[in-house]
Structure 1
């Protein structure tokens, strides 16, 4: 979505990262499991939360001939010039390095969650591209629901963390419920945890001057739940994972940029 505006920062960008270590095959990741393999699934979302593009970074800790499987529309070697071939969802490459990183764009462009993001200023709903630079009483609503057209195992097994950062010079009197709040330089960081098999309705309000904001990040990580465990204990454990997820996210982004 192209936005015509003179501000330097984007209105909002969305990146959903699903971290899979030794993952099993499924509809969104039709990929064979190898010991020593990791997968990171990236979904670039539009300003309103709709899917723009989903791709997978596959990481192998081995040399020699590698055979993998995935339902990709295209693949690329991220760190070397070794040719990757793809025939009938079978990916083959001879790796001459200690590690191999290759990216595949998924044919199935759906997520386990349906995500909707709406923006209001002075109680009037605005399109994302029309709210940049405006001032007033802001409300952002994020609605996360199950996508019943996707593999339900992801929705039932993955916790989802939603992170927003708001510049305290522009956003005043910020109010929200259910968030872990931290100060990150001049920004206030709000982190919301959605447990497996649960949706979420996130609302945040603020007085804003010349609206702009950094990316909203969503991180998904597998979390097996025992029905006898108190959910508050699980939420605490998920919050403890936030720093580790952020480090993995940053590292994988560096890989992607490289």
Structure 2
């Protein structure tokens, strides 16, 4: 199987997401990890929840339609019924609780990804084996039902490029880090209108999963 041209992942960091009781407080911070297909459509969505603080009731209750829930902190199992997930609050006396679940829902953002080789637009699947000046353009558009009460979050768009295949990498207003033979490039989108991000690089024998 051919190596992927690039790995595109989207991270939505939800802020101020909390659960509060009348007696004490337990808070939940939520991070949403979205893997995008090469055209910007969603491949899969995973949520990592961080519960901290303490709740005087017997259970901390989370509301959401999750599948494949995994406890990342210990071996405890939640009680799952319909769209509720219940964790014993005794777990919070020991340490913070982290758990992951898969969800299937509409995102508050839409993404469109286009590719250009030597100045001409090209489909992602047609890039395999080609060489030249590559440009990747990512457009972000808001998809909020209630524009007056938009949730508070920031979005990190991460791309990973194989340095054996790409050189002269340029991504304006992005941060980058090299890990082994990969360069991870990160763009930050804030929910203040649409976003437009561009990455340019020289590609050699570009490879792409079918």
Deviation at 1:70, TM superposition (A): 1.6
Structure 1 residues 67 and 126: CA distance shift in structure 2, 3 A: same
Shift of 1:140: 0.8
Distance (whole Å) between structure 2 residues aligned to residue 192 and residue 72 of structure 1: 29
User: Which has a greater percent of helix?
Assistant: 1
Task: Give, in angstroms, the shift of residue 116 of structure 1.
Answer: 1.1
Q: Find out whether 1:19 has 2:10 as its counterpart.
A: no
In the alignment, which residue of structure 2 is the partner of 1:202? 197
Change beyond 3 A, Cα 1:174–1:39: closer
**How many angstroms apart in 2 are the aligned matches of 1:83 and 1:194?**
35
Partner residue of 2:141? 145
1:170 paired with 2:161, answer: no
Deviation of residue 168 (structure 1)?
4.6
* CA 1:196–1:42: 2 relative to 1, 3 Å: same
Structure-1 separation of matches of 2:77 and 2:176: 46
CA distance in 1, matches of 2:63, 2:84: 7
CA gap of 1:53–1:179, structure 2 versus 1, over 3 A, is closer
How far, CA to CA, are the matches of 1:57 and 1:182 in structure 2? Answer: 23
Question: Residues 215-258 of structure 1: CA distance to partner in whole angstroms, max 9, x if unpaired?
Answer: xxxxxxxxxxxxxxxxxxxxxxxxxxxxxxxxxxxxxxxxxxxx
Distance 1:127 1:95, change over 3 A: farther
Deviation digits for residues 184-208 of structure 1 (CA, Å, limit 9, x no counterpart):
6665554433333132222223321
**Is 1:68 the equivalent of 2:81?**
no
Structure 2 Cα separation of the partners of residues 194 and 111 of structure 1: 14
What's the offset of the Cα at 1:68? Answer: 1.4
CA distance in 1, matches of 2:69, 2:179: 35
| Partner SS for 1:129 | helix
1:154-233 equivalences under 5 Å are 154=151, 157-180=152-175, 190-212=185-207
Counterpart position of 1:250? none
Task: State the partner residue of 1:91.
Answer: 85
**Is structure 2 residue 128 aligned with structure 1 residue 135?**
no
C-alpha spacing 1:196/1:163, structure 2 compared with 1 (3 Å): same
Answering whether residue 111 of structure 2 is matched by residue 102 of structure 1, we say: no
CA separation of 1:65/1:12 partners in 2, compared to 1, >3 Å: closer, same or farther? farther
Higher relative contact order (CA 8 A, sep 6+): 2
Q: Structure 1 regions of 5+ residues with no counterpart?
A: 25-31, 214-258
Give the structure with the higher percent strand. 2
Q: 1:54 to 1:191 in 2, by over 3 A?
A: closer
Shift of 1:72: 0.8
Report the Cα distance in structure 2 between the residues aligned to 1:159 and 1:93, rounded to whole angstroms: 28
Query: Could you state the TM-score of these two structures normalised by the residue count of structure 2?
Result: 0.71
Cα deviation, residue 43, structure 1: 1.8
33, 49, 72: which one aligns with 1:58:
49
